Structure formats: C-alpha cells, structure tokens
C-alpha cells in the first residue's frame, strides 16, 4: 500500500510540474525575448521584479523535479533486475541534476546582483 502511495505521489508531482511548466513557460519566454530586444537595462529591470525572479526559479525547480521523476522511473523500469546498475544510474542522474541546480542558482544570483 505504501508503495502505491509513493507511485501516486510521484505521478501527481510530475503532472503538477508539467502543468506549471506548460503555463509559465510561454509568458516567461515572451518577457525574456522582449527584454532582450530592448537591451541590457530592460533585462536587469525585468529581473528586478520579484514576481519574475520567483516564477523563473519555480520554473527551473519544476523542470528539475519533473526530470528527476521521469528519468528515475525510466531507469527503474528499464534497468532490469540489476540493482547495482540501477543504483549507479540513479546516483549519476541525481548528481547531474544537482550540478544543473547549482549552476542555475549561480546564474540567477549573478543576474539578480548585477
């Protein structure tokens, strides 16, 4: 029963992150593209708004969680009955997503401080 709840929880989280990604990405791309066309001052002014910074941070976190759940399920389903291989792949995936998360945080901090 607990295993079923874990699978249901992952499914719900993946659907919620997909919904957020689908709803927030088009307006953010439009705002970033329009700021890019107007120059560096407009870019910095855009990131000065807390709403934009928080929405962008939540977008990146949603993408990372969405990728984690999807790729973890693929690894667990298709790595077969080899627990060692599954463990190595899941740890490699977690490490890669952690590196991406740190890189995203570093970029966002640098952009917000400029």
Domain total in the chain: 1
53-85, pLDDT tens digit by residue? 889 889 999 999 999 999 999 998 888 788 899
- B/e letters for 5-41, b = 16+ CB within 10 Å, e = fewer, are eeeeebeeebeebeebbeeeeeeeeebeeebeeeeee
Task: Show the domain range for 47.
Answer: 2-113
Residue 92 belongs to domain with CATH number: 1.20.1300.10
Q: What is the pLDDT of residue 32?
A: 84
- pLDDT value of residue 59: 95
Taking the model in full, what pTM does it have? 0.84
The pLDDT tens digits of the residues spanning 1-33 come to 455 557 889 899 999 999 999 999 999 899 888
């Amino acid at each position: 029963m607990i295993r079923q709840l874990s699978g249901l929880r992952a499914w719900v989280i993946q659907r919620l992150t997909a919904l957020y990604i689908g709803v927030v990405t088009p307006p953010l791309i439009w705002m970033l593209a329009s700021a890019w066309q107007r120059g560096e001052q407009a870019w910095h002014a855009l990131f000065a708004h807390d709403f934009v910074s928080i929405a962008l941070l939540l977008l990146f976190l949603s993408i990372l969680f969405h990728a984690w759940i999807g790729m973890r399920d693929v690894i667990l389903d298709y790595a077969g009955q080899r627990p060692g291989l599954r463990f190595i792949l899941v740890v490699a995936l977690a490490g890669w997503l952690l590196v991406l998360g740190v890189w995203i945080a570093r970029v966002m901090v640098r952009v917000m401080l400029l």
